[in-house]
């Protein structure tokens, strides 16, 4: 467990951390451009997620129960337009994005930051109408760099495998402090509050029982937003062990020099990342050998232990479908794609998918298991009814970080996710605005005006 320490004064990495968050240091243009691509991807996921019931529940709940008090700032809900408090708006959008498992992540964190950070950025920006696009990108980078280092420290000092909500709310508080020009003292208490009240929920419990709780981000985000707001009111909560305690110091080395923002992956499929290598391997075999679904006798997936723990039965909910291994592999063979449609209930009664599912077996490969979490790998063997066998060999999950997803790949994914919901014209306007956000004179509010209205289709 994290070492107990008494710190009457800021300790550990807090000084350099506060300067990084609050001072207008140089963030390289390439890093800001990467953040813009991630924002575009997150918007695409958020748009596609409007098709899920959980997004509607979260938005309605935020309006009803997380309304802003008299004199308090409020924010418009994305793809909705109604207003809620800043934490409420963050909760609604983070829950919506988190429940369509297609967003960015950093592999050593075993989780995701952007699904929390962009909702926090959007919420705080509603109370900062003069925020420029470039400043918004810098704040997003601050959130990424903070969140992933906190995740690294948490995984190294705490035994349980916690959801992303356990640490990405800390990045949300940092974003708020950057945008609102907080003092180092307010930042210190905000980070401490966010860390202390973050939902340290057990990831594997959710894997075993998939639900709308998903990766904890829906509750990590408002925790981080609220932490900054209440720290501004004088509420004290320092220190944050994941930044100030001695055993967390390693995680903050290289802050402001080594950019974890650029080392992320982008999910090509709305499925838990642990299933991506088998999906890629299956799609590769299908394309290389022209495999027809009715030719398949058996499929064997060799993977790592966490991947093998994913659901292998016919899903009954969208949440279960996204935390499945065999289901998306079956879809890859039968349909040749794994998209949003494949995780919706309209696909669950597909007789061809169900029949293929019954032919799939899964085993843990010790060599593949040893590669986790730095790598997400898998291997698939397809046996045909005529006795032929095709082996994918060791396959790395696509989407990065090595090789990193290209600009064109991320844009193509955004279009595939956003256009069916928003229409071609609106999706194109959002794309152009996001990709131009780093230019002088661009305001972040230009983007928000494109995002708050209800889906076009």
Quickly list DSSP for 321-345: HHTBSHHHHHHHHHHS---GGGGSG
- C-alpha–C-alpha distance, residues 195 and 337, integer Å: 39
14-263: CATH topology is: 2-methylcitrate dehydratase PrpD (1.10.4100)
Inter-CA distances, 182 with 174, 203, 413, Å: 9, 33, 36
DSSP letter for 294, please: G
Instruction: Identify the burial level of 40 via C-beta atoms within 10 angstroms of its C-beta, where 0-12 means exposed, 13-18 middle and 19 or more buried.
Output: buried
The torsion of the CA quartet 78, 83, 85, 91, rounded to 10 degrees, works out to: -30
Report the pLDDT value the prediction gives residue 457, as an integer from 0 to 100. Answer: 61
- The three-state secondary structure class of 423 is coil
Report the pLDDT value the prediction gives residue 414, as an integer from 0 to 100. Answer: 98
Q: Confirm if 270 and 100 have CB atoms less than 8 A apart.
A: yes
- C-alpha–C-alpha distance, residues 233 and 236, integer Å: 9
Nearest to 368 by CA among 327, 280, 308, 325: 308
Q: Confirm if 229 and 64 have CB atoms less than 8 A apart.
A: no
Report the pLDDT value the prediction gives residue 12, as an integer from 0 to 100. Answer: 85
The C-alpha R_g of the chain, in whole angstroms, comes to: 22
Beta bridge partners of 83: 76
Report domain 273-396's class. alpha beta
Nearest to 377 by CA among 453, 288, 278, 449: 278
Report the pLDDT value the prediction gives residue 445, as an integer from 0 to 100. Answer: 97
Q: Give the chain's residues under pLDDT 70.
A: 1, 457
Q: Which residues have a Cβ under 8 Å from the Cβ of 118 and sit 6 or more positions away?
A: 39, 42, 43, 46, 93, 97, 140
Domain boundaries, the chain: 14-263, 273-396
First to last CA, the chain: 50
Peptide bond just before 239 cis, omega within 30 deg: yes
Mean confidence (pLDDT) of the chain: 96
**pLDDT tens figures, 367-410:** 999 999 889 999 999 999 999 999 999 999 999 999 999 999 99
Strands 395-396 and 377-384: antiparallel
The string over 169-186, giving b where at least 16 C-beta atoms fall within 10 Å of a residue's C-beta and e elsewhere, is bbbbbbbbbbbeebebeb
Task: Return the structure tokens found at 8.
Answer: 């009457």
Q: Confirm if 301 and 361 have CB atoms less than 8 A apart.
A: yes
Report the pLDDT value the prediction gives residue 367, as an integer from 0 to 100. Answer: 97
Report the pLDDT value the prediction gives residue 26, as an integer from 0 to 100. Answer: 86
Task: Return the structure tokens found at 76.
Answer: 């418009």
- C-alpha–C-alpha distance, residues 193 and 211, integer Å: 27
- C-alpha–C-alpha distance, residues 454 and 205, integer Å: 34
């Amino acid at each position: 467990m994290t070492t107990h320490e008494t710190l009457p004064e800021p300790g550990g990495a807090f000084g350099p951390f506060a300067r990084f968050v609050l001072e207008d240091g140089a963030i390289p243009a390439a890093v800001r451009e990467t953040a813009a691509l991630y924002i575009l991807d997150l918007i695409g996921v958020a748009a596609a997620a409007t098709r899920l019931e959980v997004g509607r529940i979260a938005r309605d709940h935020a309006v009803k129960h997380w309304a802003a008090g008299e004199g308090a700032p409020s924010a418009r809900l994305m793809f909705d337009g109604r207003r809620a408090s800043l934490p409420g708006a963050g909760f609604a959008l983070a829950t919506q994005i988190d429940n369509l498992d297609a967003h960015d992540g950093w592999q050593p964190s075993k989780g995701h930051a952007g699904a929390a950070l962009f909702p926090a950025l959007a919420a705080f920006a509603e109370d900062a109408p003069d925020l420029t696009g470039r400043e918004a990108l810098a704040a997003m980078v601050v959130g990424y760099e903070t969140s992933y280092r906190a995740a690294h420290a948490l995984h190294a000092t705490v035994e349980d495998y916690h959801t992303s909500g356990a640490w990405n709310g800390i990045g949300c508080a940092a974003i708020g402090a950057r945008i609102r020009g907080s003092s180092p003292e307010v930042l210190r208490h905000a980070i401490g509050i966010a860390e202390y009240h973050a939902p340290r929920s057990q990831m594997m419990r959710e894997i075993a029982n998939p639900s709308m709780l998903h990766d904890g981000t829906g509750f990590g985000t408002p925790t981080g937003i609220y932490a900054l707001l209440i720290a501004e009111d004088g509420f004290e909560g320092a220190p944050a062990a994941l930044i100030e305690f001695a055993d967390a110091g390693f995680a903050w080395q290289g802050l402001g020099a080594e950019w974890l923002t650029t080392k992320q992956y982008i999910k090509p499929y709305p499925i838990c990342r642990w299933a991506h290598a088998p999906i890629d391997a299956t799609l590769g075999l299908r394309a290389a050998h022209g495999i027809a679904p009715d030719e398949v006798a058996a499929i064997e997936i060799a993977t790592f232990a966490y991947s093998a723990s994913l659901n292998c039965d016919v899903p009954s909910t969208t949440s279960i479908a996204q935390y499945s291994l065999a289901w998306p592999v079956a879809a890859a063979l039968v349909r040749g794609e794994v998209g949003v449609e494949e995780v919706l209930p309209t696909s669950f009664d597909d007789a061809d998918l169900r029949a293929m599912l019954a032919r799939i077996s899964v085993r843990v490969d010790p060599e593949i298991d040893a590669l986790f979490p730095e790598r997400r790998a898998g291997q698939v063997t397809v046996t045909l009814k005529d006795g032929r066998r095709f082996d994918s060999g060791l396959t790395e999950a696509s989407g990065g970080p090595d090789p990193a997803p290209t600009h064109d790949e991320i844009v193509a994914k955004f279009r595939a996710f956003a256009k069916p919901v928003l229409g071609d014209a609106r999706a194109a306007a959002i794309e152009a605005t996001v990709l131009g956000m780093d230019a002088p004179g661009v305001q972040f509010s230009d983007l928000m005006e494109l995002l708050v209205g209800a889906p076009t289709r």
